[in-house]
Amino acid sequence: MVQSLLAALVLVFCCSFSSNAQTLGTKDCSTDGSVNFITGTTCAADPSTHLQQKQPVFDSTQNTLPNFNSGSFNSGAGANITTWRGNDELWFQHTQDTWQLSIAINQALRSSGIKIDGYSMQLEVFNKNHNTIGGSCSVAKINGLCLDVLELKVTGYDAAGNQVSLDTYDWSGLNTHNINPSASDPNWSQQNIFSWAATQLEVANVQVEIFGYDAGYWSGNYGPRVKNMVGSVIYSADICATNPLHDATCPNYVNALFNQQCTQNPLYDPSCTGYQQANTQQQCSANPLYDPSCTGYQQANLVQQCLYDPLYDVQCTGYNQAYFDQQCEMDSQYDTSCPNYQYNLVGDDNMEYNPIAEVLETPDYVTNEFVTTDVPIAELVVPTDTFAQEPEVVMQEEIQQDYAAQLLEDNIEAEIALLEAESAGGGEMNMDDNIEAELAELENETVEEEEIVLSENTIEECNPDEQECVVDEEEVSENDTEETVETVESKDGEGGDGKTNQEDDIEKEIAALKAEAKTNKKIVKKEPLTKNDKIRMLLAKKADELTKKMENLATLEQQMLVQRQLLALISFVPGFDYNDKDVIDLANFYPDKPTVDHQFSRWFLNDPNFGAMEDLQYPNGFK
């Protein structure tokens, strides 16, 4: 409807465009097979979708529009316009000639957004004279006939004079003799032309040219003729202006396509309006953990973190069990249900105590107990001299860390000093008793060694007169007993005193074997643990527990504190006094060595024959 109104307004300003404009429909199709740019077919568009109209611009049958008399001939030698039977006709003679006419398209039409879609033309042609002079014909004969030459050319030009379209039609080979028997003049052939332009054109001028002559070269009006010629242009509104997506050749096609794709899908390109929001929604739908702003991010993050570490939050499944296991791993005394829980012992004073807990008790290195309100805050020191000096500021966080670390080191050193003091003099006996009580549980976990070891190589004879010989009858080898019995039996067979003598001999042999087995026994006593050994065991156990605790610490500062405590435990050597050791003079530790004299090498290089030897080995030089 908008397009039809636009076309109507254009016609108001076009005096030459009268009410003779004809609306085209889907049954108006091209005669030459050309394709309509608007529809993509050979036929016109449906008026309800896009209005296309045909407006006459030339008519030889009347004087309102340009006609034959509006044009001109190139040569003016023979061709003429003849009024025959009430109609103007173009008559060509034996001289070649061209009639031409330039038709201007109204400026108001062109400036109103109207484009030329194509043109149409109706005319009648006459070509029945086949006469020749002695059979001579200037063109090739067709079926033995010398047919005259007749051509039509339609050219379109823009406002700058550039050619934008060209169509040529040739009826030179058409024999119109009696071609329409039912007509009053059967020698005229009706020609209808309907052609679409490849695209909508901005045409300023249309030039029509008709070329013809008598190929038989007879003198007179025996050449081809043309009459009843009507020419029209087909026009419509600029479809690229109303729909830039109509065709890829439209000027704004790229931008229109981009906007269309962005409207349909903001994810089409990152520069689309709303791309970031659409992309976030898409990613959040695929994975709620994509961004904290995603719906369900908190829940998804909680589930993920709980999978990695059940201790991440108290809401995690299995948090209670994981927390219990962690506490038991850090401190076996956390709960009586811990796998390595050490139950309290009862001392001589009927008081319960835990020796391991007393020895391994350390300050809480993962809390802020080291930081007190007495620690000085950042203090600004203003210099009193005249030089420009920046104020020295001490950060509270650094003071707290250094203070906590120093306090931890002092605690470890105090504990080690206490152990050394107890092992150095008057408290030696009390130290032994305490360590033995503390290590009672540790010694119970070790595998007990056998106190008696049989030695096959060392034999200590037992003197019954000086000491009592204890013979273990079970240790007497059964094989030895069997061998003895066999020996006695063999002796019994030789005769003698009978059964009584045999029993006496057996008792003597058994007594001798027991005495011999007793002499192979050696009593070995297990050496008791020294005071330093027990301290080492306590330090090792304490270092092992601190190592496990450090694995569960979250911050670097906490791990540094534990590392310092571990270094103090590792470097401590019970009973070792660095003050008693002599300082090694490293400067004079190694003896002096004489300088090597490469006399032979110097002589060899200075030998005049050395160069000659090189020349023999490398005649081409070094490459």
Tens-digit pLDDT profile for residues 216-257: 888 888 899 999 999 999 999 999 988 999 999 998 999 999
Query: 204: which DSSP letter?
Result: S
Domain span holding position 127: 2-242
Lowest mean pLDDT among 64-73, 224-233, 500-509: 500-509
∠ CA 476-477-483, nearest 5°, is 115
Contacts of 551 (CB under 8 A, 6+ apart): none
* Domain-embedded: residue 85: yes
Copy the structure tokens of residue 494: 């030789």
* Domain-embedded: residue 337: no
Domain end: 199, 214, 242, which one? 242
The answer to whether residues 45 and 39 touch, using CB atoms and an 8 Å cutoff, is yes
Tens-digit pLDDT profile for residues 587-617: 777 777 777 767 777 777 777 787 788 888 8
Top-confidence range, 8-12, 21-25, 600-604: 21-25
Residue 426, Ramachandran bin (φ over 0: left; ψ between -120 and 50: alpha; else beta): alpha
SS3 226: strand
SS3 58: strand
Question: Exposed, middle or buried by CB within 10 Å (0-12, 13-18, 19+), for 61?
Answer: middle
Contacts of 277 (CB under 8 A, 6+ apart): 266
Q: Which residues pair with 23 in a beta bridge?
A: 53
- What is the per-residue burial (b if ≥16 Cβ within 10 Å, else e) of 339-370? eeeeeeeeeeeeeeebbbeebbebeebbeeeb
* Domain-embedded: residue 20: yes
Kindly indicate the confidence band of residue 109, based on its pLDDT and cuts at 50, 70 and 90: low
SS3 389: coil
User: What are the backbone dihedrals phi and psi of residue 4, each rounded to the nearest 5 degrees, phi first?
Assistant: -65, -40
Domain end: 523, 555, 585, which one? 523
CATH number, domain at 235?
2.60.120.260
Q: Is 0.85 topped by the overall pTM? A: no
- What is the per-residue burial (b if ≥16 Cβ within 10 Å, else e) of 148-182? bbbebbbbbbeeeeeebbebebebbebbbeebeee
Tens-digit pLDDT profile for residues 387-417: 344 444 444 444 444 544 454 445 555 555 5
Query: 165: which DSSP letter?
Result: E
Element (H, E) at 99: strand 97-104
Inter-axis angle of helices 599-606 and 608-617, nearest 10: 70
Residue found by looking up tokens 């405590």 in the block: 565
The answer to whether residues 211 and 131 touch, using CB atoms and an 8 Å cutoff, is no
Domain end: 242, 271, 299, which one? 242
* Domain-embedded: residue 74: yes
Tens-digit pLDDT profile for residues 332-359: 888 888 988 877 655 556 666 555 555 5
**SS3 readout for 504-542:** HHHHHHHHHHHHHHHHCEEECCCCCCCHHHHHHHHHHHH
* Domain-embedded: residue 212: yes
Domain count, the chain: 2
Cα–chain center distance at 299 = 26
In whole angstroms, give the CA distance from residue 565 to residue 580.
25
In whole angstroms, give the CA distance from residue 325 to residue 318.
11
* Domain-embedded: residue 17: yes
* Domain-embedded: residue 374: no
The answer to whether residues 79 and 99 touch, using CB atoms and an 8 Å cutoff, is yes
* Domain-embedded: residue 515: yes
In whole angstroms, give the CA distance from residue 464 to residue 470.
10
